[in-house]
């Protein structure tokens, strides 16, 4: 069974990490096995839980584990694996000439969100027992590029596949005319494209599934509201929708009118301001017991 995936996205500094941490803690308190994943390079979860985390999930209580995604680890792992495959299939001189390219590829634009996607895929594959996986996302730009990656990649792959099929069809006609009988071309590139299309369709299905919920965190201020509007529009462009809007650090106990009017298609959760800050499991537990109603929108 696919676990429920909760993404918390929003402008930097609105409190995505504290909302993710308290929500994860809330579900673990209901005896639901929960994994909290920090995808934000700032990795605030270690401060909130006053603990150190790494790529290996670390239990915080009986039902909650926390993991930090290390993008550098995933980039290096991916580059090394690709380099190894290239060296195994290329002639020595060609592979030798590519060495210098591999040294600079780690700085290529786009690799950071791809590293997040690799980590995401590995997390889904290795967490069969979790009821919920909660993702504390990076600031807006990187999160949106990550969420759009499967659909953008599919556009490229499907166009490349069309071109490849055209080339192969022509090669088959040429062979038929030259030798007088049809020979089916076996093309490694087409096989690889086919495998990639299947992989990205699977990831795209996970992103579009009903169990995947994008939650937008904002504060009651114009800056985070403006960015929230841009996030909503960008998500719509890639066919994704906001499940719940979280108004974090709410001061007066009610949802501001301009937010409820703008996000009238979404559920809205109110997370009151915690004056003393949320540091340590005891503080999180107190916050949850004082504000149980805040979590009802997440099911």
Partner 1 sequence: MKLPGIHIIKKKMAAAFKVADEVMRGKAVSAMEYETGELDHIFTLLVLGMFVGIPSPPIHITMELLPDMEEALAGMIDKVSTAHDPLGDLFSVLEID
What are the residue numbers of the active site?
Answer: 40
Q: Which stretch binds partner 1 (CB under 8 A): 7-15, 125-133, 166-174, 223-231?
A: 166-174
Exposed/middle/buried for residue 37 (C-beta within 10 Å: 0-12, 13-18, 19+)? buried
Nearest Cα residue to 86 out of 76, 73, 99: 99
The tokens for 189 are 């590139």
Contacting partner 1 (CB under 8 A), which of 62, 178, 184, 210? 178
Smallest distance from partner 1 to CB 193, Å: 7
Question: Which of 175, 262 has the CB closer to partner 1?
Answer: 175
Contact present, 227 and 11 (Cβ < 8 Å)? yes
Question: Which of 111, 122 has the CB closer to partner 1?
Answer: 111
Residues 55-84 binding partner 1 (CB under 8 A) are 78-79, 82
Smallest distance from partner 1 to CB 113, Å: 9
Contacting partner 1 (CB under 8 A), which of 30, 141, 173, 251? 173
d(CA 202, CA 232): 24
Contact present, 24 and 120 (Cβ < 8 Å)? no
Question: Which of 101, 258 has the CB closer to partner 1?
Answer: 101
Contacting partner 1 (CB under 8 A), which of 108, 183, 236, 254? 108
Smallest distance from partner 1 to CB 10, Å: 25
Contacting partner 1 (CB under 8 A), which of 166, 182, 198, 230? 166
Q: Which stretch binds partner 1 (CB under 8 A): 5-13, 102-110, 213-221, 252-260?
A: 102-110
Question: Which of 179, 282 has the CB closer to partner 1?
Answer: 179
Contact present, 154 and 197 (Cβ < 8 Å)? yes
Q: Is 196 in the site for partner 1 (CB under 8 A)?
A: yes
Contacting partner 1 (CB under 8 A), which of 192, 205, 230, 241? 192
Size of the site for partner 1 (CB under 8 A): 38
Contacting partner 1 (CB under 8 A), which of 58, 73, 105, 255? 105
Contact present, 257 and 49 (Cβ < 8 Å)? no
Count of residues making up the chain: 299
Question: Which of 173, 292 has the CB closer to partner 1?
Answer: 173
Question: Which of 133, 157 has the CB closer to partner 1?
Answer: 157
Neighbours of 57 (CB within 10 A): 19
Residues 124-153 binding partner 1 (CB under 8 A) are 149, 152-153
Q: Contact residues for partner 1 (CB under 8 A)? A: 78-79, 82, 85-86, 88-91, 94, 101, 105, 108-111, 114, 149, 152-153, 156-157, 160, 163-164, 166-167, 170-171, 173-174, 177-178, 188-189, 192-193, 196
């Amino acid at each position: 069974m696919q676990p429920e995936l909760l993404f918390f996205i929003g402008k930097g500094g609105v409190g995505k990490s504290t909302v993710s941490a308290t929500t994860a803690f809330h579900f673990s308190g209901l005896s639901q096995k929960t994994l909290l994943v920090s995808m934000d390079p700032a990795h605030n979860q270690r401060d909130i839980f006053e603990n150190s985390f790494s790529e290996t999930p670390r239990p915080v209580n009986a039902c909650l584990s926390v993991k930090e995604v290390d993008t550098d680890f995933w980039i290096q792992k991916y580059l090394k694996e690709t380099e190894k495959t290239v060296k195994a299939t290329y002639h020595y001189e060609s592979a030798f000439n590519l060495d210098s390219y591999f040294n600079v590829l780690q700085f290529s634009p786009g690799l950071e969100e791809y590293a997040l996607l690799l980590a995401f895929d590995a997390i889904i594959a290795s967490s069969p027992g979790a009821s919920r996986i909660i993702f504390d996302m990076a600031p807006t730009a990187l999160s949106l590029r990550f969420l759009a990656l499967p659909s953008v990649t599919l556009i490229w792959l499907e166009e490349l596949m069309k071109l490849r099929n055209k080339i192969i069809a022509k090669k088959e006609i040429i062979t038929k005319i030259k030798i007088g009988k049809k020979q089916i071309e076996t093309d490694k590139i087409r096989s690889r494209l086919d495998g990639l299309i299947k992989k990205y369709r699977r990831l795209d299905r996970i992103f579009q599934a009903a169990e995947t919920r994008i939650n937008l965190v904002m504060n009651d201020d114009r800056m985070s509201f403006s960015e929230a509007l841009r996030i909503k529009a960008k998500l719509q462009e890639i066919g994704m929708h906001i499940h719940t809007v979280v108004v974090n650090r709410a001061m007066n106990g009610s949802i501001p009118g301009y937010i409820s009017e703008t996000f009238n298609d979404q559920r809205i959760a109110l997370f009151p301001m915690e004056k003393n800050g949320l540091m340590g499991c005891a503080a999180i537990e107190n916050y949850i017991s004082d504000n149980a109603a805040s979590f009802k929108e997440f099911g």
